[in-house]
Amino acid sequence: MIDSLKSAIFVAGSGMRAQGTRIRVIAENIANQNSTANVPGGDPYRRKVVTFQNAMDRELNVDAVKVRRVTEDPSAFGLRFDPSHPAADENGYYRTPNVKGLVETMDMLEAQRTYRANVSVIDNTRRMVRATVDLLR
């Protein structure tokens, strides 16, 4: 029983770490959603995306989650017309980041909910351990 409780805490902790990374990357995307290039024709900030993978912990014999990698989103940049912008090309257009505030907000909410769910698993597991110890007294 103790091993399964330890495994539950380990798996929930790995989920918290993974979602914590995701939250930091989303925050970076939101912070840079208006970051453009400073040179004509230059690329603006490119949105980043976190991907996860299962990672077997051989000691506990459980599948945990970990960040596989943080990659750049290959979707197209937006275009805006403003000939006075420092990044404007010869036609007066400059590229805008491929970050969409609504998408980032929804991703952030999902990551926060998942993080909180993992915290609940840890809290409930600790309560179960406490209750078991109290019963054994």
Nearest CA-CA partner of 107 in 32, 34, 24: 24
Residues 6+ apart with CB under 8 A from 111: 19, 22, 23, 26
pLDDT at 136: 87
Please classify residue 2 by burial: count the beta carbons closer than 10 Å to its beta carbon, then call 0-12 exposed, 13-18 middle and 19+ buried.
Answer: exposed
pLDDT at 119: 97
Nearest CA-CA partner of 88 in 39, 34, 35: 39
Q: Note the pTM of the prediction, 2 decimals.
A: 0.88
pLDDT at 105: 97
Helix axes 2-31, 101-136, angle to 10 degrees: 160
Q: Is residue 129 a contact partner of residue 114, using CB atoms and an 8 Å limit?
A: no
81 or 1: which leads in pLDDT? 81
Taking only the tens place, the pLDDT of each residue in 101-118 is 999 999 999 999 999 999
Taking only the tens place, the pLDDT of each residue in 16-69 is 999 999 999 999 999 999 999 999 889 999 999 999 999 998 888 899 999 999
pLDDT at 57: 85
Q: Is residue 99 predicted with pLDDT exceeding 80?
A: yes
Q: Is residue 9 predicted with pLDDT exceeding 80?
A: yes
Q: Is residue 73 a contact partner of residue 48, using CB atoms and an 8 Å limit?
A: yes
